Amino acid sequence: MRVATYNVQSGGFENYKDYESKHPPRLGAIQQAVHHIDADVIGLTDTFRWSSLYTSADLRAIFNYGHAVAVPISDITMGMSGRNIGLTVLSRREFTHKSRVNLGERNGLRTDVELNDGQILRLFTAYLNHASEHTRVEQSLALMSHTVKPELATVIADLNSVSRGDKKSSLLRKVLSLAPDAKIKGDLAELNELLKGDAHQLFVEAGFIDANNERLPSWPTPAKRILGGLALPPILRVDHILHSPDIKSSDCDVPKGEPYQSASDHFPVVAQLTV
């Protein structure tokens, strides 16, 4: 089964303040990206306003998938935007179960599907806190409490946390360690937090397998401009497919180029899972 995770950057809207547009300006690019990803199940994170704009039937029609569900993360600490940022799962297989998962200050989304041999795969889609690794660790622990051994489980998520073993992450961590704490503010402070890698490490220590064993980075696309307009190639792995040991993963890829870089500041992560 081909699965994917894809952060679609504020649901295709320009920012979290856009409550005037009836549809996301980048929806067409997201449609094309999802079509090219061609996954059996895809978890879309950061789908701002989708759960209030679109019904499941709308999403099935927009993306040409047989099954769809969208929920808000309902983050109690982020005000209006936190109530409207969402998670969306599109599937070619019927959901045998779907429910929100309490991660503390926000929701995750559980969607179970039946595999060809009749086994049930429990999929968790999540978009963890953007600013605090401590909060992400708490959210990861809450998510893992819903995975019950020996059930088959897969996490398709933007953890906002990197693998400690990624070379580029290690290099950035060393560079930031040379800067005085007083100088690490704003975006740099958030970068410093996600470089800790504690949340990702929790899944590794719990026995989850990282499908992206080639450590292909997913963020940013050229659409993300930093330091006054500089466009960077992807340097960090914040989007992950993690699965229980009884599942085998292969052909993991981070497809790049168009239409992905027009659709979002993240590239998708795609993997083939077998049991």
Residue 97: exposed, middle, or buried by beta-carbon count in 10 A (0-12, 13-18, 19+)?
Answer: exposed
Please name each of the domains of the chain with its CATH number: 2-274 (3.60.10.10)
More confident residue, 241 or 230: 241
pLDDT of residue 184: 55
User: What pLDDT shows up at residue 192?
Assistant: 79
Geometric angle at alpha carbon 174, from 170 and 177, rounded to 5°: 135
Least trusted range by pLDDT, from 46-50, 75-79, 154-158 = 75-79
pLDDT in tens, 144-178: 999 988 789 999 999 999 999 898 888 888 777 77
User: What pLDDT, on a 0 to 100 scale, did the predictor assign at position 232?
Assistant: 72
pLDDT attached to residue 224: 64
Per-residue confidence (pLDDT) for residue 186, from 0 to 100: 61
pLDDT at position 231 is: 62
Q: Is the pLDDT of residue 89 over 90?
A: yes
Is residue 56 over pLDDT 70? yes
pLDDT in tens, 32-42: 999 999 999 99
DSSP string, 32-78: HHHHHH--SEEEEE--TTHHHH--HHHHHHHHT-SEEEEEE---TTS
Encode pLDDT of 99-115 as tens digits. Answer: 999 999 999 999 999 99
